[in-house]
Structure 1
C-alpha cells in the first residue's frame, strides 16, 4: 500500500510538472525552459539531502549519472512534445512507452504478481491506452514529428526510471542528486552550443521553475515507491500521470476530453484499487 500511494503521488507530480513544462516551452525555446527547470529541481534535492541522507557509492554515482543523461533527454523531448500539442493526446503516448519498458524489465528480473495483480496490471495499461485515445475525425491530431518526439520522450523517461531503480537501495537520494547535476550540466552545455538558435524570447521563469520542482518531487516519490514495491506495478501507476496533464489542459487550455478518456480514468481507478490489494 505504501508503494502504491507513493507511486500515485509521483504520478500526480509528474502530470502537473509536464503540463507546466509544456506551457513554458510555448513561450520560449524548449532549452530555455529546461535551463531553469533542471537547476530548480537540483536545488530541491540538495535541500532534502540533510533530511533524507545520501551515500555516494560507485553504484549510486554510475546509475545516477545514467539517469541524469536520460533525464536531460526526457526534459527536452517531453516539453517540446507538449509545446507542439495537443497535450491530451501526446502526454498519454509518452506514458504508454514509459510504462511498458520498466514493466518488461521488472518481469524479466523475476518480479511476480498475484492473481489480483495480474488483473490490475493489464487494466492499468488499458487505462493508459484509453486516456491516449483520439477524438475522432474533427479533432486536432498530432503531427508525425510530434508523435516521434512523444515516443522518444517516453523511452527517455523509461530509461531514467529504470536507471534510478537500479541504484543501491541504501544510497538515499544520492542517485537523484547526481542525476540532476548531470542533467543540468548536459542541458547548460547544449544551450551554450546552441545559443544562437535559442531565440530572444524570455522564458516563463516561474512556470519553468515550478515544473522543475514538481519533477524533483515526482522523482523522489518514484524512487521511494520502487524501493518498497515491484517496479512493474510502480511504473504502471506512475505512468498514469497523463490524467493530471489532461485535466489541466482541459481546465486551463480548454482542450477537449474524449469520452474514452473519461472511461480510461475510471478504469485507472479500478486498476489502482486492485493493485492496492496485491
Structure 2
C-alpha cells in the first residue's frame, strides 16, 4: 500500500512538472527550458543526498547514466509535445507508452499478480487513457510528426523508469544524482551545438526550474515505490501523471483509476 501511495505522489509530481515545462516551452526553444530544468533537478538530488544517502557502485553509475540519457530525451520530447499539442490526443498516447514498457519488463522479470491485480492492471491502463483524454471537440488532428514525438516521449520516459528500477536497491539517491548530472551534461552539450538555432527568446526561468525540481521529486518517489513494490504496478500508477497536465474534470477516468488502485492494493 505504501508503494502505491508513493507511486500516486510520483504521478502527481510528474503531472505538475510536465504542465509547467509545457508552458515554459511555449515561451522559448525547448532546449532553453531544459537547460534550466535539468540542473534544477540535479540540485534537488544533491540536497537530498545528506538525508537519504547515496552510493556509487559501477552498477549505480551505469544505470544512473542510462537513465540520465533517457531523461534528457524525455525532457526535450515531452516538453516539445506538450507545447504544440493537441494535449487531449497526445497525452494519452505518451502516458500509455510510458506505462506499457515498464509493465512488460516487470512481468518478464517474474513479477506475478493475484486475481485482483489481473483485473486492476488493465483497468489502470484504461484509466491512464481516460484520465488524460480531454474533451477536445474541434481539435485539429495531429500530424504524423507530432504523433511520433509523443510516442518517443513515452518511450523515453519508460526507459528512464526501467533504468532507475535496475539500479541497486541500496544505492540511495545515487542513481538520481548520476542521472541528473548526465542529463544536464547532455542538454548543455546539445544546446552548445545548436546555439544559433535556439532563438533570442528567454525561457520562463522560475517555471522551468520548478518543473525540474518537481521532476526530481517525482523520480525519487517512483524509485522508492519501485523498491517497495512491483515495477508493473508502480509504473502504471505513475503513468496517471497526465491528470496534472490536462485541466479538465476527467471524472470517468479518475473513477476508473480509483477502482484500479483499490484492486492493485489487494495484490
- Compute the TM-score of the two structures, normalised by the length of structure 2: 0.97
Superposition RMSD in Å = 1.3
Contact 1:101 1:158 in 2 (8 A): yes
Contact 2:87 2:134 in 1 (8 A): no
Corresponding residue number in structure 2 for 1:13: 13
Contact 2:134 2:246 in 1 (8 A): no
Structure 1 position 93, deviation (Å)? 1.4
Residue segments in structure 2 that go unaligned for 5+ positions in a row: none
Corresponding residue number in structure 2 for 1:25: 25
Matched, 1:276 2:238: no
Matched, 1:266 2:241: no
Residue segments in structure 1 that go unaligned for 5+ positions in a row: 251-256
Structure 2 Cα separation of the partners of residues 14 and 133 of structure 1: 17
* Number of aligned residues: 267
Structure 2 Cα separation of the partners of residues 175 and 272 of structure 1: 27
Structure 1 Cα separation of the partners of residues 246 and 258 of structure 2: 16
Q: How does 1:210-225 map to 2 (within 5 A)?
A: 210-225=210-225
Contact 1:29 1:198 in 2 (8 A): yes
Instruction: Spell out, residue by residue over 1:172-213, the C-alpha distance to the aligned partner (whole angstroms, 9 max, x if none).
Output: 000000000000000000000000000000100000000000
Structure 1 position 276, deviation (Å)? 1.5
User: Residues 206 and 84 of structure 1: is their aligned pair in 2 closer, same or farther, counting only changes over 3 Å?
Assistant: same
Structure 2 Cα separation of the partners of residues 9 and 115 of structure 1: 25
Structure 1 Cα separation of the partners of residues 134 and 19 of structure 2: 19
Structure 1 Cα separation of the partners of residues 260 and 109 of structure 2: 23
Corresponding residue number in structure 1 for 2:168: 168
Matched, 1:185 2:174: no
Instruction: Spell out, residue by residue over 1:117-161, the C-alpha distance to the aligned partner (whole angstroms, 9 max, x if none).
Output: 111101001111223546476233333222110000000000000
Structure 1 position 67, deviation (Å)? 0.3
Contact 2:64 2:167 in 1 (8 A): yes
